[in-house]
Amino acid sequence: MARRLAGFLVLLLVVSICEAAFLFQPISDSHRSAALELFTPDHGSFKSLEETYEALRTFQILGIEKKPDLTATACRSISETVGSSSSTAKDLFYALKANSIAECKIDKKASKGIISRLNAAVSGASSLLDFYYSVGGLVLIKDQSSEADVHLADAEGVFRSVKAFSQSDGRWRYSSSNPESSAFAAGIALETLAGIVSLASSEIDQSLISTLKNDIIKLFDSIEKYDDGALYFDDKLVDGHEYQGPLSTTSSVLRGLTAFAAVTAENLNVRDTMLGLAKFFLGICVPGDAKDFFNQIDSLACLESNRVSIPLILSFPSTVLSLTRKDSLKVGVSTVLGSEVPSLTVKLVGAFSSGSKDASLVESQELNFDKASGLHILNDLPKSIDVGSYTFVFEVVLHEPEHEEVYFMGSQTKVPISVTGLIKVENSEIAVLDSDLGSIESQKKLDLAGKNAISLSANHLQKLRLSFQLTTPHGRSFKPHQAFLKLRHESKVEHIFVVGNSGKQFEIVLNFLGLVEKFFYLSGKYDMELTIGDAAMENSLLVAIGHIELDLPEAPEKAPRPPPQPVDPYSRYGPKAEITHIFRAPEKRPPQELSLAFLGLTILPLLGFLIGLLRLGVNLKNFPTKPVPATFAVLFHVGIGAVLLLYVFFWVKLDLFQTLKLLGFLGVFLVFVGHRILSHLAAASAKLKSA
C-alpha cells in the first residue's frame, strides 16, 4: 500500500512537471519509470490475460527489459488457457496476444485445437465482439504457429456479416439487438475486417474494401478538436455501462485504421489527422491508470510504425529564454516514441509579438544542428527580440524527398516563447510641488534598487510627483504589468495609484487638493511604497520609498468615514460573553416545626371524634357472629381499608391511570362484598322488626 502511494506521488510529480498545452514532449524516461510503477503484478501475476498482454506490450514498446518471472507466469497462464477446453474465444484471443510478445511455445495439438475452436466461434458468432475475438485469434495463431494452415471458411460471408453492423454515420453497432452505435465499436470492426482481409484476401471482392474506405471517411467526419491542434474521437454518453471515454475510443479507432491501412493499398488522406491524434496522445503526458497508459503507448506505437504517415513532433527543453543568461533557443525533433528521425533542418520562419498582427520581427533563418545533443539550436537571438512574450513559427524541411511520403510534420508550428531580462530603472526622483506655480518645494533622488528613507511633508494645496524611467536590455521602452504607488496611513487605510507612462518615462502626480475627500480627510504620516512588476522582468521590485507627512483640512460633518479596517476575521468565532441564568426565586416556605405542629393539630379532631364516640356508647353488637356473614363483614372492612391505602399510594407514587385500574378491581370486589353483608344485615333487621 505504501509502495502504491509512493508510486502515485511519483506520477503526480511527473505529471506536474509535464508541459502545458501547445507543447508536446515525446515519450521519455519518465514514462518508463511510470510504467514500471503502474504495471506491477499482484503476487507475481496479473488478474487476467488482458492485463498480462497490456503489461507485456507496454514494456515491449518502451524497451523495458522483460522480467523472466513475469514471462514465466505469463506462459503458465497462456498454456493453461490454451489447454483448457472451456476457454472462450475472448480468453484465447488474449492468450494468443500475450503469447505474441512472451513467445511461449504452443504444441501442435494445442494449436490445432485452438484453430478448430476459433473456426467454430467464427461460424457461431452473432455480435461484433464475437467476430473480433475469433477472427483476431485466427490472425494471431497464423503468425505464431508453424502450421500455416489457417483457413477462414466463407470469408466473404463473414466480411458481410461484420459490415452489416455499420451505421450510416460511420459508427458501428455491437449487435443486431443493441441499437447503440459507437466509434469504439467502429475501431473494433475495422480491426476485425482487416483481419479477415489478411486471412483470405484473394476471396474478398475489392469493391467491398473500397466501400469500407467511405465508412472510414464518414467516421473521421465526427472527429473532435482541441484548441492546441489535438484531434480525438468521443462517443456520446448515453449509457454509462458502454461508454469508453475519449482515450479508449480514439486508440480503438487508431488501431482499426492502422490495421486496415496495413492490409489494403487504398490511399486514405489522413496525414493531418494522424498528426492531430499524435498531439492528443502526447498531450495526456503520463496517465495514472494502467489501462489508459496501455492505450496511450499502444496508439503511439501504431502511429510510429504505420503505413500512412509517421508524425514528427517538435519538443522544447525550455520555452522561457533569459537575455541575462544569454540563453539560446533549442528545438528537438523526434517521433512520438522518441526515436531517431532522418536528417532534416528546422527553420525559424517568423516571430510575432503576442497579440500583435504586425510583420515578423525576424527574418527566416535556419537553426544549427548540434550532433552531440541532437538538438537544433539558434545561437544568438536577434536584437529585435526584446523582453516580452512572442509566438515563434517553425518549419521543418526534410533533406531526402522520399522521406516526405513517410514522415509528416505539418506545415508550420506555432510556439509561444517568453523572453525575460533585467529592466534598468533609472532617473527616479520624488518631489513636492506647489500647486499653482508648479515650482518645486523639495526634491529628492531615489535609489529604487536599494534602501530609501525619504521624509517629505506636504499640505493639501501641494502636489506629489514621482518619476522614473524603465529601459529594456536592448534600450527600448518597457511597460510593465504592474506599476503602483501605494500610500498607507498610520491607521492602516491604504490608497493605491497606477503610475502611467509615455514611452520610457513613468510619472505620477498626486494633486492633494482633489484627493482630500478620497483620503477621508486623514492627516498624518503616510508610508509610500512603489511596486513595479512583470512576468518578463527578472528584477521586479516592491520597495518602500519612505514617508510623507500630509496636512489635510478638518473633515466636514457629512464627510465619508474611512472604511473600517478588517479585524482579525477569526475573532468573531471566539467565545461570546457568558450569560448567567437567573432562576425564579423559590416561594417562601414556612418553617418546618410550624408545619409539623399543625400536622399534629389536624389529628386532634379525629381523636376528639373517637373519644366522643366512646362517650356516646358506640358498640359492635350488630357484628354478625355466623362464620359466612362474618367473613363478608371482615372483607368489607378490609376492602375499604385497601381502597384508602390505594389512595395513599396514589398520592405518593402512582399515577391516575394505574390508580383507576386498581380501583376498578377493588371497587368491583368491594361492591360485591358490601352488597352481601349489607343485604344480610338488612334481612336480619327486617326479621327483627317483623318479629
Partner 1 sequence: MGRTSSTKEDAGALFHSLRSAYAATPVNLKIIDLYVGFAIFTALIQVVYMAMVGSFPFNSFLSGVLSCVGTAVLAGKSNFLSPLFAKDLPPERAFADFVLCNLVLHLVIMNFLG
Site string for partner 1, 125-144 (x = CB under 8 A): --------------------
Contact 319, 80 (CB under 8 A): no
Residue reference for cell 503505413: 307
Q: How far apart are CA 85 and CA 113, in angstroms?
A: 9
Could you give the maximum distance between any two Cα atoms of the chain, in Å? Answer: 157
Helix (H) or strand (E) holding 484: strand 482-489
Q: Which of 5, 453, 567, 606 binds partner 1 (CB under 8 A)?
A: 606
Task: Based on the shown chain and the rule CB under 8 A, indicate whether residue 354 belongs to the binding site for partner 1.
Answer: no
Contact 303, 254 (CB under 8 A): yes
Task: Based on the shown chain and the rule CB under 8 A, indicate whether residue 587 belongs to the binding site for partner 1.
Answer: yes
Give the binding range for partner 1 (CB under 8 A) out of 462-470, 496-504, 537-545, 606-614.
606-614
Task: Based on the shown chain and the rule CB under 8 A, indicate whether residue 608 belongs to the binding site for partner 1.
Answer: yes
Give the binding range for partner 1 (CB under 8 A) out of 385-393, 449-457, 466-474, 592-600.
592-600
Q: How far apart are CA 539 and CA 478, in angstroms?
A: 13
C-beta closer to partner 1: residue 656 or 691? 656
C-beta closer to partner 1: residue 2 or 620? 620
C-beta closer to partner 1: residue 377 or 654? 654
Q: Which of 612, 623, 630, 641 binds partner 1 (CB under 8 A)?
A: 612
Strands 505-511 and 500-502: antiparallel
Count of beta carbons in the 10 Å neighbourhood of residue 532: 23
C-beta closer to partner 1: residue 576 or 589? 589
C-beta closer to partner 1: residue 238 or 682? 682
Contact 419, 386 (CB under 8 A): yes
Task: Based on the shown chain and the rule CB under 8 A, indicate whether residue 585 belongs to the binding site for partner 1.
Answer: no
Give the binding range for partner 1 (CB under 8 A) out of 75-83, 221-229, 542-550, 609-617.
609-617
C-beta closer to partner 1: residue 380 or 655? 655
SS3 561: coil
Report the 3 state secondary structure along 50-91. Answer: HHHHHHHHHHHHHCCCCCHHHHHHHHHHHHHHHHCCCCCHHH
Q: Which of 6, 618, 630, 668 binds partner 1 (CB under 8 A)?
A: 618
C-beta closer to partner 1: residue 361 or 681? 681
**All cell numbers assigned to 63:** 524497451
Q: Which of 3, 451, 589, 626 binds partner 1 (CB under 8 A)?
A: 589
Q: How far apart are CA 297 and CA 303, in angstroms?
A: 10
Q: Which of 226, 609, 665, 672 binds partner 1 (CB under 8 A)?
A: 609
Give the binding range for partner 1 (CB under 8 A) out of 22-30, 355-363, 396-404, 598-606.
598-606
Task: Based on the shown chain and the rule CB under 8 A, indicate whether residue 669 belongs to the binding site for partner 1.
Answer: no
The residue count for the chain: 691
Task: Based on the shown chain and the rule CB under 8 A, indicate whether residue 681 belongs to the binding site for partner 1.
Answer: yes
Q: How far is the CB of 642 from partner 1 (least distance, A)?
A: 11
Task: Based on the shown chain and the rule CB under 8 A, indicate whether residue 563 belongs to the binding site for partner 1.
Answer: no
Contact 388, 481 (CB under 8 A): no
Task: Based on the shown chain and the rule CB under 8 A, indicate whether residue 2 belongs to the binding site for partner 1.
Answer: no
Give the binding range for partner 1 (CB under 8 A) out of 254-262, 353-361, 417-425, 642-650.
642-650
Residue 125 phi, psi dihedral angles, 5° rounding: -75, 145
Q: How far is the CB of 581 from partner 1 (least distance, A)?
A: 23
C-beta closer to partner 1: residue 449 or 610? 610
Q: Which of 48, 176, 412, 679 binds partner 1 (CB under 8 A)?
A: 679
Q: How far is the CB of 604 from partner 1 (least distance, A)?
A: 8
DSSP code for 473:
T
Give the binding range for partner 1 (CB under 8 A) out of 32-40, 69-77, 342-350, 681-689.
681-689
Q: Which of 72, 153, 397, 682 binds partner 1 (CB under 8 A)?
A: 682
Give me the helix-helix angle, 108-123 and 128-144, nearest 10°: 150
Task: Based on the shown chain and the rule CB under 8 A, indicate whether residue 604 belongs to the binding site for partner 1.
Answer: yes
Sign of the CA dihedral with 97 first, then 136, 223, and 316 last:
positive
**All cell numbers assigned to 430:** 520624488
Q: How far is the CB of 575 from partner 1 (least distance, A)?
A: 40
Q: How far apart are CA 623 and CA 628, in angstroms?
A: 12
Q: How far is the CB of 580 from partner 1 (least distance, A)?
A: 26
Q: Which of 16, 269, 411, 602 binds partner 1 (CB under 8 A)?
A: 602
Which residues make Cβ contacts (< 8 Å) with residue 91, sequence separation at least 6?
49, 81
Task: Based on the shown chain and the rule CB under 8 A, indicate whether residue 641 belongs to the binding site for partner 1.
Answer: no
DSSP characters for 491-559? TS-EEEEEPEEETTEEEEEEEHHHHTTTTTT--EEEEEEEEEE-TTBTT-EEEEEEEEEEE-PPP-TTP
Contact 300, 336 (CB under 8 A): yes
Q: How far apart are CA 70 and CA 22, in angstroms?
A: 38
Task: Based on the shown chain and the rule CB under 8 A, indicate whether residue 614 belongs to the binding site for partner 1.
Answer: no
**All cell numbers assigned to 641:** 381499608
The footprint of partner 1 on this chain (CB under 8 A) covers a number of residues equal to: 36
Residue reference for cell 482499426: 256
C-beta closer to partner 1: residue 397 or 594? 594
Sign of the CA dihedral with 647 first, then 651, 653, and 659 last:
positive
Give the binding range for partner 1 (CB under 8 A) out of 96-104, 192-200, 477-485, 640-648.
640-648
DSSP code for 573:
G
Q: What are the distances in angstroms from CA 468 to CA 215, 465, 475, 590?
A: 67, 10, 15, 93
Site string for partner 1, 646-665 (x = CB under 8 A): -x--xx----x--x---x--
Which residues make Cβ contacts (< 8 Å) with residue 265, sequence separation at least 6?
none
Per CB under 8 A, residues contacting partner 1 are: 587-590, 594-595, 598, 601-602, 604-606, 608-609, 612-613, 616-618, 640, 643-644, 647, 650-651, 656, 659, 663, 667, 674-675, 678-679, 681-682, 685
